[in-house]
Amino acid sequence: MAATKALLMLENFIDGKFLPCNSYIDSYDPSTGEVYCRVPDSGKEEIEAAVEAARRAFPGWSSWSPQERAQVLNKLADLLEQSLEELAQAESKDQGKTLALARTMDIPRSVQNFRFFASSILHHTSECTQMDHLGCMHYTVRTPVGIAGLISPWNLPLYLLTWKIAPAMAAGNTVIAKPSELTSVTAWMLCKLLDKAGVPPGVVNIVFGTGPRVGEALVSHPEVPLISFTGSQPTAERITQLSAPHCKKLSLELGGKNPAIIFEDANLDECIPATVRSSFANQGEICLCTSRIFVQKSIYSEFLKRFVEATRKWKVGVPSDPSASMGALISKAHLEKVRSYVKKALSEGARIQCGEGVDKLHLPARNQAGYFMLPTVITDIKDESCCMKEEIFGPVTCVTPFDSEEEVIQRANNVKYGLAATVWSRDVGRVHRVAKKLQSGLVWTNCWLIRELNLPFGGMKSSGIGREGVKDSYDFFTEVKTITVKH
Ligand SMILES: NC(=O)c1ccc[n+]([C@@H]2O[C@H](COP(=O)([O-])OP(=O)(O)OC[C@H]3O[C@@H](n4cnc5c(N)ncnc54)[C@H](O)[C@@H]3O)[C@@H](O)[C@H]2O)c1
Ligand SMILES: N/C(=C/C=C\C=O)C(=O)O
């Protein structure tokens, strides 16, 4: 009889202790489609216990100096760095991304998040004004909000969880975090490092489970005054409804339908590989990924030919394969959702230049049930198509020609999202001019995904509310008070 593999059993981490749950959710290895892990299916009871722990820990943690808190965050960064390989293996297995990407992006950025906010918390300044004629001075002070509710998505699990935990802790808040139930393993591994880093019990509590059950229990709890959420717009709408009665502070980092605008003077030797990467990195499961490519008409044919050739070299493989550029999508349901957009495009008369339904996917036998899909390029698609309007969040990108700068700006802006964009041109005046006119919170010119953590990150329109970054996260995770002194 074939030996059944022992399942990895996660536990909630509350008040510095790992606690079992009375029900669990199956979690799958996207590269094989097999259940390999079980995640606690927590609810109100677990949130109540986490709130009690976080409440109890808050007076102590918030009274620590920024220097003392920074020391703990730096120790945590060191411990994460020492566990990089183990964490990368776990992230790759849990999310389906290549091991190479987990090693070079996800885990190093998680380390950087703790180091970055450990440093920045030491350098914030407050404001002061004087009214000499009234014998008054005014100054601001910032204090931690209290218990921070953090909800993160499945595409960059530890990277985006730590992007919230680090600033919340640095500012003196205690934390209740709920990672995605689809990718909970590295959050659980993080919990195993907290005590060794010197994090007092109750400062960081991680409760696992589904959005509607434990997520909503967290969002609607009256003692959690703020929610930092990264995920989809429909979920954000639900969170906004639930938190409204409590007038909670909300940070909402949502989806995108990000354009790449390629002018005829672009350096195609640089632009094409960068735009393949911006379209298909992490299986296209990055909120900043390019999903609409506008190419000036005079170079459209050359660009398309070279872009399709380069896309066909973007290898889909088993995540542990060092030659793979892309791994498996997160779930069977998500794979079917992404495929349905390609079918829809075909039904509208669009052309599939490469990928889904055109080229053949080659995988080992044990991975045939994995959630793999080829990077897919769609052309001859109308701007009104759902493939050009809706976030697909998979390895699918659309290429379409344009004539003038004015036309392409209008078309690029003509979606409900406003998260990121790339602009490719050697004309420096043009890149500045176009970047300013694009309705995006982030614009990369002649590059993609060079992240400056000091500056605001986030989107406009339906891509979210608020920003994250050194000042923006500090402002979000603190309350400001203006004090007037009459002398
Ligand atoms: N702007 C960004 O920085 C950014 C980054 C990554 C992902 N995203 C977006 O996230 C989406 C993909 O991630 P996803 O599928 O995990 O999103 P999702 O909204 O389904 O889930 C995100 C998180 O919210 C939780 N959740 C779901 N329903 C909830 C509810 N009713 N109450 C409370 N919590 C709930 C989930 O369990 C998960 O932890 C895409 O739209 C992508 O663009 C945005
Ligand atoms: N918040 C960030 C998100 C990046 C990609 C999301 O899918 C970041 O880079 O800081």
Q: Any idea which ligand is nearest the CA of 464?
A: 1
Q: Which two tokens stand for residue 252?
A: 């909402």
Predicted confidence at residue 3, as pLDDT, reads 56
Is-catalytic flag, 264?
Answer: no
ipTM over 0.90: yes
CA atoms in the 13 A half-sphere facing the CB of 27? 27
* Catalytic residue selected from 46, 181, 253, 285: 253
How far is it, in rounded angstroms, from Cα 178 to Cα 191? 12
Q: Any idea which ligand is nearest the CA of 95?
A: 1
Distances (CA, A) of 163 to 87, 167, 170, 426, 468: 16, 7, 11, 34, 8
Predicted confidence at residue 5, as pLDDT, reads 73
Q: Is 457 in the pocket of ligand 2 (CB under 6 A)?
A: yes
Q: pLDDT tens string for the chain (487 positions)? A: 555 679 999 999 999 999 999 999 999 999 999 999 999 999 999 999 999 999 999 999 999 999 999 999 999 999 999 999 999 999 999 999 999 999 999 999 999 999 999 999 999 999 999 999 999 999 999 999 999 999 999 999 999 999 999 999 999 999 999 999 999 999 999 999 999 999 999 999 999 999 999 999 999 999 999 999 999 999 999 999 999 999 999 999 999 999 999 999 999 999 999 999 999 999 999 999 999 999 999 999 999 999 999 999 999 999 999 999 999 999 999 999 999 999 999 999 999 999 999 999 999 999 999 999 999 999 999 999 999 999 999 999 999 999 999 999 999 999 999 999 999 999 999 999 999 999 999 999 999 999 999 999 999 999 999 999 999 999 999 999 999 999 8
Q: Report the pocket of ligand 1 as residue ranges, CB < 6 Å.
A: 151-155, 160, 178-181, 210-212, 215-216, 219, 230-232, 235, 238-239, 253-256, 287, 391, 393, 419, 464
Distances (CA, A) of 271 to 25, 169, 422, 447: 43, 39, 10, 8
Q: Which amino acid is at 243?
A: S
Q: Is 156 in the pocket of ligand 2 (CB under 6 A)?
A: yes
Which atom of ligand 2 is nearest to 449's Cα?
A: 9
How far is it, in rounded angstroms, from Cα 41 to Cα 37? 13
Predicted confidence at residue 246, as pLDDT, reads 96
Spatial contact of 345 and 387, defined as CB atoms under 8 Å apart: yes
Closest Cα to atom 33 of ligand 1: 215
Q: Which two tokens stand for residue 46?
A: 């677990």
Q: Is 117 in the pocket of ligand 2 (CB under 6 A)?
A: no
Q: Any idea which ligand is nearest the CA of 450?
A: 2
Q: Which two tokens stand for residue 473?
A: 């996260």
Predicted confidence at residue 4, as pLDDT, reads 60
Q: Is 229 in the pocket of ligand 2 (CB under 6 A)?
A: no
Which atom of ligand 1 is nearest to 179's Cα?
A: 39
The residue among 172, 160, 162, 163 whose CA lies nearest residue 121 is 172
DSSP string computed for 92-125? HHHH---HHHIIIIIHHHHHHHHHHHHHHTTS--
What pTM value is reported for the model? 0.97
Spatial contact of 480 and 141, defined as CB atoms under 8 Å apart: yes
- Tell how far the Cα of 321 is from the centroid of ligand 1, in angstroms: 28
pLDDT digits (tens, 9 = 90+) for 148-195: 999 999 999 999 999 999 999 999 999 999 999 999 999 999 999 999
Spatial contact of 453 and 112, defined as CB atoms under 8 Å apart: yes
Predicted confidence at residue 420, as pLDDT, reads 98
Testing ligand 1's pocket by substitution, the residue of 44, 95, 151, 396 carrying the most ligand atoms inside 8 A of its CB is 151
- Tell how far the Cα of 209 is from the centroid of ligand 1, in angstroms: 13
Predicted confidence at residue 155, as pLDDT, reads 98
